[in-house]
Structure 1
Amino acid sequence: MKAEKKSKIASKKASPKWFFWIVGVFSLCVLGLLLIGNFSKTEAVINYKNQPYIGDAAAPVKIVEFGDYKCPVCKNFNATNFPQIKEKYVETGIATFYFMNDPFINTDSNRSALFAETVYQELGNETFWKFHDQLYSKQPEDSKYEAIDLYTESFLKDTLKEIANDDDTNKVMEAFQQKKAKSALEQDLLHVKNLKVDGTPTLFINGKKFEGNTWDEFNQMVEDAAKEKK
């Protein structure tokens, strides 16, 4: 199950079913329509260059998550399912895991995405992932906050200060205010448009969209992708 794209673009897209949704997690994101699909057979062109990732860049399988830092389903995915993927596929050298932004829920979705891109550009991959996890961990439980401009510049700065020193934080703030990472975020948004990403989180495995609804289907798709590269 994925978060439905609503707000300004709700009328344009419907949300497909996201296989990682856990019973008991209730949020505004759950209001999207559920669709059960098959694996996409068309391999999309994805530019992985200059994207934050975890794992060996030379791994045979490339997994891309499109997410929004304000999406409760994305937070749940990051806390419960990503660790499983990391342990089974990333740490074993089978897959590289990438994160790309799809900020659609509110204006501060875009702000937090740009800020995270700035952290990546200015402080590197390792610090980005620390900030990534920290930002999701600070997401409120109440889904009603989605309509609130919560992730202000000061909020993002304070969150970064929890994992970075003052000099690094000031470096990021200066770059953020100058919008130095704008082109990087625009590249993510271009992928969203070209790949027809219609909800968060959405996964692509070696350029193919995962549209299954079980963990077994996900495992099978990853394993098939690895075999194709041998």
Structure 2
Amino acid sequence: MANKKKNEKSGSNSSAKFTFWVIGLVVVCIAAFIFLGNHNKKQENTEANTIDYSNQPYLGEKNAPVSIIEFGDYKCPNCKNFATNVVPIIEKELVDTGKAKFYFMNDSFINTDSIRSAKFAESVFKELGNETFWKFHELLYKKQPNDSKYEKMDVFTEEFLINTLKEVASDKDVDKVVKNFQSKDSDAAWDKDMKYAEKLGVTGTPTIFVNGEMFKGQTIDDLKNMVDNAAKGKKNE
């Protein structure tokens, strides 16, 4: 489990920021549809699916009864907002309380940067483990350019990714990751995520699933209720 500093939020402020993310998601998805036009996936049935969570980065206790997944893209502005403002709320309300584990899976659709950074992050996870992955993951979102003009430009070059990793890992560890990345040893892990995104009917990022079922609520309370219901269903199995 990654050892991270927790960002304390008040209850009312948490709900406001969570709702803001949902509203923002609609705007970003519309923008992606108009300007990118390359993420038109067929909407599929989102009822609970069997998911292999092994070898996936996660936050939380191993024995937590419920699994939450975020499908994200490192070039997606709304994913940056989600990572900065919403994930800390989920950690405080659901992960730190032992109710759920929080997973990140890739749905790389914006441009070549999206794929390159996702595969590099997979190499970080494979070579350096869960804790360093989350450090790199957070840093990569912090470094995402705020100007939308960079969305379709190559910014996350291999050199950029290597230099970013050097901020949280030793030169020796960075060399291990680069070797893994250049030999494409972690491409299969990225491909696994992309196939799950297709299977589950993901049509925008970030998209959240609770035990394989798509989250369609608007507040942190909606998510908490969904997690509680999923835990009860698991106990009744």
- Coarse TM-score class (shorter-chain normalised): 0.7 to 0.9
| Structure 1 ranges of 4+ moved more than 3 A | 22-25, 27-30
Compute the RMSD of aligned alpha carbons. 2.2
1:148-187 CA-partner distances (Å, limit 9, x unpaired): 0110000000000000010001111111110110111111
1:98 corresponds to 2:98? no
Asked whether the 8 Å contact 1:120–1:127 carries over to 2, the reply is: yes
Asked whether the 8 Å contact 1:29–1:73 carries over to 2, the reply is: no
Using the size of structure 2 for normalisation, the TM-score is 0.81
- How far off its partner does 1:45 sit? 1.6
* Residue in 2 that maps onto 1:79: 84
1:43 corresponds to 2:48? yes
Asked whether the 8 Å contact 1:112–1:151 carries over to 2, the reply is: yes
1:213 corresponds to 2:230? no
- How far off its partner does 1:20 sit? 4.7
- 1: CA distance, partners of 2:127 / 2:20: 32
Using the size of structure 1 for normalisation, the TM-score is 0.84
Asked whether the 8 Å contact 1:56–1:93 carries over to 2, the reply is: yes
* Residue in 2 that maps onto 1:149: 154
State how 1:112-127 maps to structure 2 within 5 Å. 112-127=117-132
* Residue in 1 that maps onto 2:139: 134
Q: What stretches of structure 1 of length at least 5 have no aligned partner?
A: 1-17, 34-39
1:229 corresponds to 2:217? no
1:88 corresponds to 2:93? yes
Relative to structure 1, the CA distance from residue 192 to residue 41 in structure 2 (aligned partners, 3 Å threshold; closer, same or farther) is closer
* Residue in 1 that maps onto 2:200: 195
1:169 corresponds to 2:181? no
Percent identity over the alignment is 54
1:10-50 CA-partner distances (Å, limit 9, x unpaired): xxxxxxxx95527789x8655257xxxxxx87211211010
> Of residues 188, 194, 200 in structure 2, which corresponds to 1:183?
188
The DSSP-based 3-state class of the residue aligned with 2:151 is helix
Q: What stretches of structure 2 of length at least 5 have no aligned partner?
A: 1-17, 34-44
Alignment: residue pair count: 207
State the one-letter code of the partner of 1:165. Answer: S
Asked whether the 8 Å contact 2:57–2:103 carries over to 1, the reply is: yes
- 1: CA distance, partners of 2:179 / 2:73: 23
Structure with a larger share of its residues in helix: 2
* Residue in 2 that maps onto 1:64: 69
> Of residues 39, 54, 60 in structure 2, which corresponds to 1:55?
60
- 2: CA distance, partners of 1:59 / 1:215: 18
